[in-house]
Amino acid sequence: MVISEKTLKARKLFSRRLRELLESRDMNQNDLAKVLHVSESTVGKWTLGKSMPRTMGGIQQIADFFNVGKSYLLEEGTALDDSNQVRPYYFDPEVAAIANELKENPDMRILFDASRKLSKQDMKTVINMIKAITDKEE
């Protein structure tokens, strides 16, 4: 299979920007893999420019995690500015994974915005309380 010049260029940009974002968060490939629920080798291929996420949803998930626009990951000439800058989110990968669970689970999603100021232990406590209540109701 022949890969187009455009695809190679997109992979190279995505790879470079992803590595920069990982470095800015002091994260490694395994940390990101855990947050996104993909294999470490998948993230490794992304950082090496061998592949990219297969869907725009996957790219959006990465952009959301790093709090940047998709355009920053995909478009040359897009810089981190006021509307597209890396802002601290969850530096601890375990906390990020918990926050992602809150975000992705419809029953817990309402707590996602409120959870940004909670500690990891507080987030776990809230999740356990919700699970206990919903299990009791069933």
pLDDT in tens, 14-29: 999 999 999 888 889 9
For 48-69, what is the mean pLDDT?
A: 88
Side chain identity, residue 59: I
- Is the pLDDT at 89 greater than 60, yes or no? no
How many independent structural domains does the chain possess? 2
71 in the same domain as 94? no
Cα 22–120–67 angle (5° rounding)?
35
Determine what percent of the chain is predicted with pLDDT higher than 90: 25
130 in the same domain as 107? yes
Per-residue pLDDT band at 87 (split at 50, 70, 90): very low
For 55-65, what is the mean pLDDT?
A: 88
In order, the DSSP letters of 18-78 are HHHHHHHTT--HHHHHHHHT--HHHHHHHHHTS---SSHHHHHHHHHHHT--HHHHH-TT-
- Is the pLDDT at 98 greater than 90, yes or no? no
Q: Which two tokens stand for residue 51?
A: 């592949």
For 103-109, what is the mean pLDDT?
A: 69
For 65-91, what is the mean pLDDT?
A: 67
pTM of the predicted model as reported, rounded to 2 decimal places: 0.59
Quote the pLDDT of residue 83: 47
* Domain limits for position 38: 1-89
83 in the same domain as 100? no
Domain with residue 70: its CATH number is 1.10.260.40
102 in the same domain as 85? no
Distances (CA, A) of 124 to 59, 77, 86, 107: 27, 40, 26, 15
Min mean pLDDT across 47-51, 53-57, 123-127 is at 123-127
Quote the pLDDT of residue 79: 62
63 in the same domain as 31? yes
